[in-house]
């Protein structure tokens, strides 16, 4: 349990810091003053000022933020000057470093770079995995993952790990293909072409039974797709990694849409929907599988964070980007008070959703229901 909590916190830290570092680095490069780089949400626990920026750790470890000078005044074009006697020259210098004073395209880049960094993190991890442990590739045949005791398969000599390639002139392309073929030949003698673990090919004769227990099948075997991992050279690993990241993002978008539909029309919580507690639980399951599985989880979470943040939801990066794009199209800045209120409502709704999902996760854990079935 302790290891799961520590790894979960580490993953959260990495995802948040990578995201906020995108905003931070871009703002610095564009000369925008960064007032604070914070992990978690206030109230502040620890803070240290280095140069002009405060680096802080806050009480609510559910995210992070980069506070930019003049960000709250993004639509008004003014700053609150505490010292009324401040020289006009200093004010102009400070104003030029304010977020609101920068062109819309610069503000858009700063806002979107957090999403870009999360996408890059996910894609780089996938590229690394494709170059080290490889990527799944479906080979011909069907893999035998279980042989039932006293079944026709055991009597015929089929073993776990064997690959059933064909029967007569029919090549098996999937488990479903083998099952369909077997049902058409119940009670008939079949000659299966089988490849053993050692790579040896042999012909095994078997007669699928007409009457059998529902959980055993006609031959008494459990089968799966014959998938192996194939390592890629570094440049192909990068290509496959980024392509896989794009495909995952599309699947995440489709999942979000399905979740919205389910919540609206069925008023049920879709399976697999998880908040911080559910993600921590999932982290524990991936830890048991191994380091590569944990890296895969980090990649998936990072891509999820990228997709969620780019959506035009108030308080998120996508919501802020929407107002900037609106300004670019209409050539008119949005009223900062209205924008602030909209983002405030969005933040309230997001926190409410997090609380509701957390309550659902806790109740599910208490009842013993798994996150993924």
Residues 20 and 119 in one domain: yes
Residue 339 lies in a domain: yes
Residue 46 lies in a domain: no
State if pTM tops 0.85.
no
Q: From first to last of its 373 residues, what are the pLDDT tens digits of the chain?
A: 788 888 888 888 889 889 999 999 999 999 999 999 988 878 899 999 999 999 999 887 767 788 888 876 544 444 555 555 554 444 566 778 888 888 889 999 999 999 999 999 999 999 999 999 887 777 889 999 999 998 999 999 999 999 999 998 899 988 999 999 999 999 999 999 999 888 889 999 999 998 888 778 899 999 998 887 788 888 999 999 999 999 999 988 888 887 777 777 766 655 556 667 777 777 888 888 888 889 999 999 999 999 988 988 888 888 889 989 998 999 887 777 788 788 888 888 887 877 877 787 777 677 766 555 5
Instruction: State residue 75's pLDDT score.
Output: 44
Residue 195 lies in a domain: yes
Residue 337 lies in a domain: yes
Strand pairing category for 53-68 and 163-167: unpaired
Residues 126 and 247 in one domain: yes
Q: Count of domains in the chain?
A: 2
Instruction: State residue 152's pLDDT score.
Output: 92
Residues 327 and 350 in one domain: yes
Of 230, 255, 279, the position where a domain reaches its end is 230
Residues 320 and 182 in one domain: no
Instruction: State residue 77's pLDDT score.
Output: 44
Of 171, 195, 230, the position where a domain reaches its end is 230
Strand partners, 48: 55
Residue 83 lies in a domain: no
Instruction: Please report, for the domain that includes residue 197, its CATH number.
Output: 2.30.42.10
Distance CA 140, CA 143 (A): 9
Query: Which value, to the nearest 10 degrees, does the dihedral of the CA atoms of residues 31, 32, 35, 41 take?
Result: -120
Instruction: State residue 70's pLDDT score.
Output: 81
The half-sphere exposure of 300 on its side-chain side, counting CA atoms within 13 A, is: 12
Contacts of 156 (CB under 8 A, 6+ apart): 204, 205, 206
The pLDDT tens digits of the residues spanning 141-181 come to: 999 999 999 899 999 999 999 999 999 889 998 899 999 99
State how far Cα 150 lies from the chain centre.
Answer: 44
Of 230, 253, 280, the position where a domain reaches its end is 230
Domain that holds residue 361: 2-32+102-132+238-367
Instruction: State residue 78's pLDDT score.
Output: 47
Distance CA 246, CA 56 (A): 33
| 336-367 helix and 317-330 helix, angle to the nearest 10 degrees | 150
Instruction: State residue 91's pLDDT score.
Output: 59
Residue 62 lies in a domain: no
Residues 208 and 303 in one domain: no
Instruction: State residue 139's pLDDT score.
Output: 82
The pLDDT tens digits of the residues spanning 174-222 come to: 899 999 999 999 999 999 999 988 888 999 999 999 888 877 889 999 9
Residue 309 lies in a domain: yes
Residues 127 and 248 in one domain: yes
Residues 123 and 13 in one domain: yes
Residues 128 and 244 in one domain: yes
Residues 217 and 322 in one domain: no
Residues 146 and 224 in one domain: yes
Residues 125 and 139 in one domain: no
Residues 122 and 169 in one domain: no
Residue 13 lies in a domain: yes
Distance CA 8, CA 319 (A): 28
Instruction: State residue 241's pLDDT score.
Output: 92
Instruction: State residue 82's pLDDT score.
Output: 52
């Amino acid at each position: 349990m302790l290891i799961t909590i520590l790894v979960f916190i580490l993953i959260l830290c990495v995802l948040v810091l990578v995201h906020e570092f995108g905003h931070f680095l871009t703002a610095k490069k564009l000369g925008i003053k960064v007032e604070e780089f914070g992990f978690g949400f206030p109230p502040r626990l620890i803070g240290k000022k280095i140069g002009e920026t405060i680096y802080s750790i806050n009480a609510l470890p559910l995210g992070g933020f980069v506070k930019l000078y003049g960000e709250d005044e993004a639509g008004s074009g003014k700053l609150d000057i505490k010292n009324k006697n401040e020289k006009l020259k200093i004010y102009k210098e400070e104003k030029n470093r304010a977020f609101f004073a920068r062109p819309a395209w610069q503000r858009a880049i700063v806002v979107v770079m957090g999403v870009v960094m999360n996408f890059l993190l996910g894609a780089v991890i996938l590229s690394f995995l494709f170059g080290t442990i490889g990527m799944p590739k479906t080979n011909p045949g069907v893999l035998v993952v279980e042989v039932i005791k006293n079944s026709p398969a055991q009597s015929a000599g089929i073993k776990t790990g064997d690959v059933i390639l064909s029967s007569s002139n029919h090549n098996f392309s999937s488990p479903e293909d083998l099952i369909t073929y077997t049902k058409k030949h119940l009670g008939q003698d079949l000659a299966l072409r089988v490849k053993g673990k050692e790579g040896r090919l042999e012909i095994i004769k078997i007669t699928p039974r007409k009457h059998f227990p529902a959980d055993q099948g006609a031959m008494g075997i459990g089968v799966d797709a014959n998938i192996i991992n194939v390592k890629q050279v570094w440049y192909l690993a990068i290509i496959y990694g980024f392509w896989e990241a794009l495909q995952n993002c599309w699947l995440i978008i489709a999942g979000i849409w399905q979740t919205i539909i389910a919540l609206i029309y069925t008023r049920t919580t879709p399976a697999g929907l998880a908040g911080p507690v559910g993600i921590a639980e999932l982290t524990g399951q991936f830890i048991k599988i191994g380091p590569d599985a944990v890296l895969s989880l980090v990649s998936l979470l990072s891509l999820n964070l990228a997709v969620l943040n780019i959506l035009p939801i108030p308080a998120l990066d996508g919501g802020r980007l929407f107002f900037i794009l609106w300004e670019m199209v209409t050539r008119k800045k949005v009223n900062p008070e209205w924008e602030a209120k909209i983002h405030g409502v969005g933040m309230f709704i997001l926190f409410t959703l997090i609380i509701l999902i957390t309550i659902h996760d806790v109740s599910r854990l208490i009842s013993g229901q798994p996150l993924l079935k």
